[in-house]
Amino acid sequence: MANTSVDEILDVTEEQFAADAETFLAANATLKPPTRTAFGEGSDEISVLPERTPEQDAIEVAAAKAWAQKVFDAGFGWITGPRKYGGRELPKSYQSLYGAIESRYATPTQGPRGIGLGMIAPTILAHGSDTAKELYLRSLYRGDIIACQLFSEPSAGSDLASLQTRAVRDGDEWIVNGQKVWTSGAHYSEIGEILCRTDPDAPKHKGLTGFIVNMHAPGVEVRPLRQMTGGASFNEVFFTDVRIPADHLLGEVNNGWTVALTTLMNERAAIGGGGSGTSSGSSELRRLIALARHLGVTEDPLVRQEIADTWINLQVARYNNDRALAKIRSGQLPGPELSIAKLSLTENLRRTAELASHILGPRITADSGEWGTFAWSKFLLGVPGMRVAGGTDEVMRNILGERVLGLPKDPPVSR
């Protein structure tokens, strides 16, 4: 597409768009080989979230960025985005079309960019200043930078509005002090979306403000958090007198809860749909069925019932996700219904982990060296973390009860 004019890139029929995408991908990637699912072949590694060494992270991030830059420069990096920030302002159907075509090719994973594109970029577009949009939107979609989300704190997880990280105005800057926790990708991110308390005397939902922070600014310290799986997918981040320019404000001062809701709704859409590096469960169930055949337990009526129950719930979750994503693609904002997607995901991960433990029995607790058995222990240990990420199961149920079903609210703890 090197000789294609800007107008031709922006205004194109679906047929020509698909042809251009095929031409670009054929020249820069190879078709995926047929999927092989034979039991005992290849790596038996399985986990809820990918767990890599810092060296492996660096290699994956570099590959993700290089591919994103190539895709963006060819006109496929932000298909639906505003033209002024590097997008093409094409209908969402074009994005779906490109995704379907690219899925047939072997390309570098974009997992490290999932949070930035799925949660942070939409928030900047909705609430960022003109300066912030100019600085970061094109760079995020092109893969020049990666973003993380800085919300949870040691004493404010499910009750996000109780956070204590402070931001104090100092002329044309804000000074931030505090700690965040469970931050995915903080160690390789260039920027982060941070929620701070800017008015300690206001009601807890009213005194919050969102900002974009430079993750390499003086005073920012990122420390890995080791999980019981043995990996370190998350981080804790400390802020000591970190200065943020005033034009890096998201939304209005003390109106950060609105900004946070924009991010959280997009987060639940991403997590519930299996985005951000999270598995949706289908591939794991296929592996478990192969494992059950290998161990000769497929005639056990309890195992058969659990497999059927898990498969049914995975299909229901998929249909619900399709409905929610269709709503977003039509231009509607993510709503509380997306809490169903997130809750369904964690429930299905739980079902899958329980099925694995029932099929394997003691094999899941002791490493005998047998392929595809003890490997499931990492998956089992990783599931509880997903019941916290993006809002706990209990919070999701409250949201669904109150905002979808119209049930009365629980009495607040303060009473």
In this structure, what CATH number is given to the domain that contains residue 331? 1.20.140.10
Q: Are residues 153 and 217 in the same domain?
A: yes
- Classified as helix, coil or strand, 226 is coil
Evaluated on CA atoms 315, 396, 232, 177, the torsion sign reads: positive
Q: Are residues 170 and 139 in the same domain?
A: no
243 bridge partner residues: 175
Contact partners, residue 99, CB within 8 Å, separation at least 6: none
Q: Are residues 127 and 158 in the same domain?
A: no
Higher model confidence: residue 266 or residue 366?
Answer: 366
Q: Are residues 284 and 302 in the same domain?
A: yes
Of 113, 145, 177, the last residue of a domain is 145
Residue 274, in any domain of the structure: no
Residue 101, in any domain of the structure: yes
Q: Are residues 188 and 220 in the same domain?
A: yes
- Pairing label, strands 173-180, 166-170: antiparallel
What number is the average pLDDT over the span 352-371? 94
Q: Are residues 286 and 211 in the same domain?
A: no
What number is the average pLDDT over the span 87-107? 94
Q: Are residues 86 and 129 in the same domain?
A: yes
Q: Which domain holds residue 58?
A: 45-145
The CATH number covering residue 178 comes to 2.40.110.10
- The mean predicted confidence, pLDDT, of the chain is 89
Number of domains in the chain: 3
Q: Are residues 343 and 249 in the same domain?
A: no
Residue 389, in any domain of the structure: yes
d(Cα 136, Cα 250) in Å, to the nearest integer?
Answer: 13
Residue 287, in any domain of the structure: yes
- State the pLDDT at residue 280: 60
Q: Are residues 89 and 172 in the same domain?
A: no
| Structure confidence by residue, pLDDT tens digits, 282-336 | 889 999 999 999 999 999 999 999 999 999 999 998 888 788 777 766 767 656 6
The CATH number covering residue 129 comes to 1.10.540.10
What number is the average pLDDT over the span 48-65? 91
Q: Are residues 245 and 295 in the same domain?
A: no
Is residue 299 packed enough to be buried (19+ CB in 10 Å), middle (13-18) or exposed (0-12)? exposed
Q: Are residues 302 and 238 in the same domain?
A: no
- State the pLDDT at residue 62: 98
Tally the C-alpha atoms within 13 A of residue 9's C-alpha that lie toward its C-beta.
20
Residue 261, in any domain of the structure: no
| Structure confidence by residue, pLDDT tens digits, 195-254 | 999 999 999 899 999 999 999 999 999 999 988 888 888 899 999 999 999 999 999 999
Quickly count: other Cβ atoms within 10 Å of residue 35's Cβ: 7
Residue 103, in any domain of the structure: yes
CA distances from 255 to 16, 92, 210, 264 (A): 44, 30, 8, 15
Residue 260, in any domain of the structure: no
Q: Are residues 388 and 300 in the same domain?
A: yes
Of 111, 145, 179, the last residue of a domain is 145
What number is the average pLDDT over the span 125-140? 97
Of 120, 145, 170, the last residue of a domain is 145
Residue 376, in any domain of the structure: yes
